């Protein structure tokens, strides 16, 4: 806080910087309580509004979170680990530990708010599934909840002609789920493409996922293809980024060698 550049910054920013550094250095660990407004007023000789602004900077960044009546705490990142590719278990090739610890590895989440409808899909979905604007899809919507906290919204689109009359169109798809039914119908998924991006949530997404301020969502768009390259399902997932770490394990290829440097 001694440089000329920093002296020009508003006081609440400089207090936020100091607290952030104390978090990054480990002085305050995950789950620790940060100094409250009264503490900051005394320590820095500032007004309550300034102290409040400093704490709100850290909340907006997602570094800290307020707990009602208890204060502001360093956010703990203990995410669900979602493995995109199950085939290569990490323990096959070594003991290297993961950088982000995780309590839960692909643990079964509770599913709620399941709906199954027949709908014309948005144009972006039709383009991937190779459907015309007149064709319909079977749309399966559901929400995944862990310990009472919603963490994931998923909406699957399947071309209606492929699944008409099958259990895919019912809430309970039966043993093995949608993919087992697709296999019985002659459309077994053989390849997957997962596309990932991140942005801030819409108001509706933030509500459905009970999200804290300063937290983005991760979007995964997963397309399932048959072995002949025919797209049979598109699943749009919206994840609370504070709840997830995604993992992809794979083998090196000649091209990989060049990609990293």
Q: What is the distance in angstroms between the CA of the first residue and the CA of the last residue of the chain?
A: 35
Nearer to a second copy, 48 or 193 (CB): 193
* Residue 214 in the binding site for a second copy (CB under 8 A): yes
Q: Does 73 bind a second copy (CB under 8 A)?
A: no
Answer yes or no whether residue 170 interacts with a second copy by CB under 8 A.
Answer: no
The span of 33-41, 42-50, 65-73, 221-229 binding a second copy (CB under 8 A) equals: 221-229
Cα 219 to chain centroid distance, Å, stands at: 7
Cα distances (Å, whole numbers) of residue 61 to 9, 78, 151, 200, 252: 17, 17, 19, 12, 35
3-state secondary structure 69-119: CCEEEECCCCCEEEECCCCCCHHHHCCCCCCCCCCEECCCCEEEEEEEEEE
Based on CB atoms, which residue is closest to a second copy, 17 or 71? Answer: 17
Nearer to a second copy, 118 or 207 (CB): 207
CA 139 to chain centre: 21
128 binds a second copy (CB under 8 A): yes
**Which of 61, 212, 25, 20 is CA-nearest to residue 35?**
20
**Selected range binding a second copy among 29-37, 42-50, 159-167, 250-258, rule: CB under 8 A:** 250-258
Q: Which stretch binds a second copy (CB under 8 A): 27-35, 42-50, 64-72, 200-208?
A: 200-208
Q: Is 245 in the site for a second copy (CB under 8 A)?
A: yes
CA 50, CA 68: separation in Å to the nearest integer? 20
Among 127, 170, 207, 210, binds a second copy (CB under 8 A): 127
238 lines the binding site for a second copy (CB under 8 A)? no
């Amino acid at each position: 806080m001694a440089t000329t550049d920093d002296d020009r910054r508003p006081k609440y920013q400089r207090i936020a910087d100091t607290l952030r550094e104390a978090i990054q250095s480990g002085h305050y660990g995950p789950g620790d309580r940060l100094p409250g407004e009264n503490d900051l007023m005394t320590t820095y000789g500032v007004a309550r509004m300034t102290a409040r602004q400093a704490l709100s900077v850290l909340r907006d960044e997602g570094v800290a979170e307020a707990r009602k009546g208890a204060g502001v705490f360093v956010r703990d990142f203990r995410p669900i680990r979602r493995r995109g590719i199950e085939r290569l278990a990490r323990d096959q090739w070594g003991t290297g530990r993961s950088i982000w610890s995780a309590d839960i590895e692909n643990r079964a989440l509770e599913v709620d708010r399941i709906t199954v409808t027949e709908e014309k899909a948005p144009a972006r979905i039709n383009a991937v599934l190779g459907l015309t604007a007149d064709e319909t899809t079977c749309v399966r919507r559901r929400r995944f909840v862990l310990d009472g906290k919603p963490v994931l919204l998923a909406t699957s689109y399947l071309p209606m002609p492929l699944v008409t009359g099958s259990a895919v169109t019912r809430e309970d798809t039966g043993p093995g789920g949608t993919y087992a039914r697709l296999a019985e119908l002659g459309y077994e998924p053989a390849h997957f493409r997962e596309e990932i991006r991140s942005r801030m949530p819409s108001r509706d997404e933030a509500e459905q996922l009970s999200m804290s301020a300063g937290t983005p969502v991760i979007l995964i768009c997963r397309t399932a293809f048959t072995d002949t390259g025919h797209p049979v399902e598109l699943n749009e997932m919206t994840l609370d980024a504070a709840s997830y770490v995604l993992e992809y394990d794979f083998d090196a290829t000649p091209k990989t060698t060049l990609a990293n440097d």
